[in-house]
Amino acid sequence: MDAAYIDRLGPADEIRHGRLPDPLPGPADVLVEVTATAVNHVDTFVRSGAWRTPLSFPFVIGRDLVGTVAATGERVSGFAPGDRVWSLSMGYAGRPGAAAERVAVPADHLHHLPSGADPVDAVALAHPAATAHAALFRCGRLRAGETVAVVGAGGNVGGAAVALAVDAGARVVAVASAHDADYCAKLGADAVVDRAAPDVHRRLARLCPDGVDVYVDAAGRNEVDHALGVLARRGRIVLLAGMRTRAVIPVGDLYLLDRTVTGFAISQASTGELARAVADLGPLIADGRLRPREVEVLPLEAAAEAHRAVETGRARGRRFVLRVGAGAGRT
């Protein structure tokens, strides 16, 4: 089968494109004919070794996929050949990746793709939208009527967080670059604060006189000391980017008002948590309420090029989707 893979950890130049043996599905696996896979920041972390996770070589890269069921193991129920499916949890924790013509996916890591969902949109949104969903609802415990601040709202995770919070009935204040203000407003943000402003948190405080209930930092700025000052009583801060930042936490501001700071990575989500996220996200993607901002579809052999673009920041909010099989949608 055609695949993008590595023989050892290292830079994007280590990615190879060529033929590998077909996977051998187990009794609890589903063999999927892959249509497309996406390129995420975490894929570059796994490939480079920045984030250590069990893998074996040659290692097929990639986490997310959309495709069609080709066959099912004897212990699998709920899937049949021809079903359109998606997965967002391959390529780590001992599972081979998604960037291949055929992938053996454990049945509990596979989900039906809702009717009407565009496969390119679905695979482009899988990782960032699931991350935003878990940040808001599992870690942030968001409830309708609460106030949410999203830092980095112009990005993929941040934009999904704005859209999901609005859909859940929250009041959303976006913190984003000035050139992203219109985009955030179209997502439903009630107000947008310029992240480059020197008084960004004072502006947030003025816009949220009763405090922020859930503060999601998708940009990796992690200015916890300032963020605590705008939180409501029992407000929650969720941090999900910026591996090398070092936050300052005023402990008094944290515990006197029952506030919390939670770190979160989608790679730590359980299969049940991922299934709940997918169940909520699917209908939003199918009816167009949740869409990727910008997608570039490339052939599978351009995997190294896409990894380099993500690592160097040239993506700038763009999602890269690698076309694997026929029917990957737009170009």
Q: 3.90.180.10, 1.10.268.10, 1.20.1740.10, 3.40.50.2300: which CATH number matches 2-113+294-323?
A: 3.90.180.10
Compute CA 267 distance to the chain's CA centroid, rounded to the nearest angstrom: 10
| Domain spans of the chain, in order of start | 2-113+294-323, 131-267
Which pLDDT band holds residue 243 (cuts at 50, 70, 90)?
low
Compute CA 308 distance to the chain's CA centroid, rounded to the nearest angstrom: 18
Q: What's the pLDDT at 219? A: 86
- Cβ atoms of 297 and 330 within 8 Å: the answer is yes
Q: What is the pLDDT of residues 197-215, one digit of tens each?
A: 999 999 999 999 999 999 9
| Mean of the per-residue pLDDT values of the chain | 92
Q: Has residue 315 got a pLDDT over 80?
A: no
Alpha helices by DSSP H, listed for 13-116, are 41-48
Q: What's the pLDDT at 16? A: 97
Q: What is the pLDDT of residues 78-93, one digit of tens each?
A: 999 999 999 999 999 9
- How distant, in Å, are the alpha carbons of 125, 126, 172, 235 from that of 190? 23, 25, 6, 19
Q: Has residue 42 got a pLDDT over 80?
A: yes
- Cβ atoms of 37 and 324 within 8 Å: the answer is yes
Q: What's the pLDDT at 225? A: 85
Q: 3.40.50.720, 2.40.30.10, 3.40.50.300, 3.40.470.10: which CATH number matches 131-267?
A: 3.40.50.720
Q: What's the pLDDT at 185? A: 95
Of 33, 112, 100, the residue nearest 70 (C-alpha): 33
> Collapsing DSSP states into helix, strand and coil, what is residue 125?
helix
- Secondary structure of 246-302 as H, E, C letters: CCCCCHHHHHCCCCEEEECCHHHCCHHHHHHHHHHHHHHHHCCCCCCCCEEEEEHHH
Q: What's the pLDDT at 151? A: 95
Q: What is the pLDDT of residues 153-180, one digit of tens each?
A: 999 999 999 999 999 999 999 999 999 9
Q: What is the pLDDT of residues 98-121, one digit of tens each?
A: 999 999 999 999 999 999 999 999
CA torsion angle 42 43 45 47 (round to 10): 170
- Cβ atoms of 175 and 148 within 8 Å: the answer is no
- Secondary structure of 28-55 as H, E, C letters: CEEEEEEEEEEECHHHHHHHHCCCCCCC
Distance separating alpha carbons of residues 297 and 261, to the nearest angstrom:
37
- Cβ atoms of 284 and 188 within 8 Å: the answer is no
Q: Has residue 68 got a pLDDT over 50?
A: yes
Q: Has residue 326 got a pLDDT over 70?
A: no
Residue 239 φ then ψ, to 5°: -110, 130
Which pLDDT band holds residue 330 (cuts at 50, 70, 90)?
very low
Distance separating alpha carbons of residues 129 and 138, to the nearest angstrom:
13
Average pLDDT estimate for 255-269: 84
pTM exceeding 0.95: no
Residue 40 φ then ψ, to 5°: -115, 160
* Preceding omega of 58 cis (within 30 degrees of 0): yes
